[in-house]
Amino acid sequence: MFRAMVPRAAPRSLLRPVGGAQSSIRPSAFYVLDRSRRGYATEAEEKDLVVIGGGVAGYVAAIKAGQAGLKVTCIEKRGALGGTCLNVGCIPSKSLLNNSHMYHSILHDTKNRGIDVGDVKLNLAQMMKAKETSVSGLTKGIEFLFKKNNVEYIKGTGAFTDEHTIAVNLLDGGETSVKGKNIIIATGSEATPFPGLTIDEEKIITSTGAIALQKVPKKMVVIGGGIIGLEMGSVWSRLGSEVTVVEFLGQIGGPGMDNEIAKLTQKLLTKQGMKFKLNTKVMGGDDSGETVKINVEAAKGGKEELLDADVVLVAIGRRPYTAGLNFEKIGLEADDKGRLVIDQEFRTKIPHIRVIGDCTFGPMLAHKAEEEGVAVAEFITKGYGHVNYGAIPSVMYSHPEVAWVGQNEQELKAADVKYKSGSFPFSANSRAKTNLDTEGIVKFLADAETDRILGVHIVGPNAGEMIAEATLALEYGASCEDVARTSHAHPTLSEAFKEAAMATYDKAIHY
């Protein structure tokens, strides 16, 4: 752990030498302040780059800049790198999704496969331990990459004191400050609260609480039918909870999911036991009793209904997190949604201060943040960088998985774009049939005149991996015929992708 350090030239009356096995710095080169005498360190040399936030956007930018030879410092207050994604988001949720799916499959999907099982029991504590093992291994891996690329890692909370200086309250006590020629803000996002419901992460929870429940709730209400709500709802439904999803809109999956895919996905999740109340708004709730009472009614008004739940998951989206950053002091601007305002090169009105990730514009996706981390480092070191926001995939890790990239059908209709559509069911795919996992389809959308791919939407096995091929095709401006004439190994699930492309520009072979 880093401690507040000052150059040797500081008054020795305030200093004591740094030593001990945990320090990788020569004891003779630096001294640490005696905090019984003083709690603020004088600043070290000016860095080429200071990154505020060690999440996916921040740590990637720091590593990329370090690889280019810049002197880089990354400030992270969590005490572990990786941000929401690695610590309480993408990674732990996927561990639970994978293991809960295995548990559910063993209970319900072995007889037809010729596998007889005995007494199957859930060990929730061990499932949570497996999740934590995955998380800790990855976060420590990032610390290794920081050392490998000479990135200084400071554990603490940063705030601007001027346009080049960040004051840091260190997690282990005391303060320091860091100066940077360039500064990147990558402070991420937080779960959006629901008015009238107090989050305690036990009865009223966000996604953070949803990955850490100590027992399976008998009943769970999920407020919000987007990706986070559906993924976490899937986990606890598989483990035995009665899950009801309440969604204000008329479809699940959020506005990015294609309508046809959303309807099919809802049908499949309903088959698994989840319940849905669409076009429904939450009027309020009462958590004063042993269970939580949630009042709902039709979105357009109507008879009120009372839902009872042991746990309520609030999953209505996320909002930028910039609390305590003190960005207003130096004149940075935020819009009405709290997003820091930037130009096309991620610059704020102060050119050497740039912003990436969830605290600015664009979809709140880890891989989008990662692309911005690379691009912003390239802008600083090379003068150019690029992110194609038209080719950012989205994945929902339910079973079957749902993935898409590019435009959906409702967006094309709204823009009055002439398009053609083609699809292929996994039920006609040989590998899916041998795997006894045939639910879902691959759907292509292409320009009616040029055949150029405009969007690909998949619900089915391996959709999250298969969407990478669609993203690459979209990035290179491929046509459906380009994909259809590309050989795909047999037997593989990816043949459904090829056949959907064939169905769009001509006709599929196997359906």
Q: Express each pLDDT in 109-128 by its tens digit.
A: 998 899 999 999 999 999 99
What span, in angstroms and rounded, lies between the C-alpha atoms of 482 and 467?
A: 16
Q: How confident is the model at residue 257 (pLDDT cuts 50, 70, 90)?
A: very high
241 plus 347 within the same structural domain: no
121 plus 160 within the same structural domain: yes
Residue 510 lies in a domain: no
Q: Which residues have a catalytic role annotated?
A: 490
CATH number at residue 484: 3.30.390.30
Write out pLDDT tens, residues 27-50.
333 333 333 333 344 456 799 999
Q: State pTM to two decimals.
A: 0.90
The annotation status of 383 as a binding-site residue, yes or no, is: no
Residue 485 lies in a domain: yes
Lowest average pLDDT, out of 134-148, 291-305, 375-389, 472-486, goes to 291-305
Domain of residue 334 covers: 47-191+320-382
pLDDT at position 80, please?
96
The annotation status of 158 as a binding-site residue, yes or no, is: yes
Q: What is the mean pLDDT of residues 239-251?
A: 97
pLDDT at position 301, please?
83
pLDDT at position 38, please?
34
Residue 17 lies in a domain: no
| Number of domains making up the chain | 3
The annotation status of 226 as a binding-site residue, yes or no, is: yes
Q: What are phi and psi for residue 462, nearest 5 degrees?
A: 65, 20
Mean pLDDT, the chain, rounded, equals 92
Asked whether the predicted pLDDT for residue 135 surpasses 70, the reply is yes
51 plus 184 within the same structural domain: yes
pLDDT at position 44, please?
60
In the listed set 283, 316, 349, which residue is the last one of a domain according to the structure? 316
51 plus 179 within the same structural domain: yes
In the chain, pLDDT over 70 holds for what percent of residues?
A: 91
Residue 347 · residue 363 · CB < 8 Å: no
187 plus 269 within the same structural domain: no
Q: What is the mean pLDDT of residues 487-494?
A: 98
Residue 89 · residue 139 · CB < 8 Å: no
Residue 219 lies in a domain: yes
Q: Which residue has the higher pLDDT, 20 or 443?
A: 443
The annotation status of 268 as a binding-site residue, yes or no, is: no
Query: Both tokens of residue 243?
Result: 């899950």
Residue 98 lies in a domain: yes
What span, in angstroms and rounded, lies between the C-alpha atoms of 339 and 364?
A: 11
The answer, yes or no, to whether the previous bond of 351 is cis (omega within 30 of 0) is: no
Residue 16 lies in a domain: no
pLDDT at position 258, please?
98
Residue 336 lies in a domain: yes
300 plus 312 within the same structural domain: yes
178 plus 295 within the same structural domain: no
pLDDT at position 72, please?
98
Residue carrying the six token digits 């049908």: 267
State the pairing for strand pair 311-314/204-205: parallel
In the listed set 271, 288, 316, which residue is the last one of a domain according to the structure? 316
307 plus 267 within the same structural domain: yes
Write out pLDDT tens, residues 330-372.
999 999 999 999 999 999 999 999 999 999 999 999 999 999 9
pLDDT at position 302, please?
82
pLDDT at position 249, please?
96
Residue 196 lies in a domain: no
304 plus 333 within the same structural domain: no
Q: What is the mean pLDDT of residues 209-223?
A: 98
CATH number at residue 294: 3.50.50.60
pLDDT at position 14, please?
33
302 plus 338 within the same structural domain: no
The annotation status of 141 as a binding-site residue, yes or no, is: no
167 plus 67 within the same structural domain: yes
In the listed set 297, 316, 335, which residue is the last one of a domain according to the structure? 316
Q: How confident is the model at residue 255 (pLDDT cuts 50, 70, 90)?
A: confident
98 plus 218 within the same structural domain: no
Question: DSSP for 193-234?
Answer: P-TT----SSSEE-HHHHT--SS--SEEEEE--SHHHHHHHH
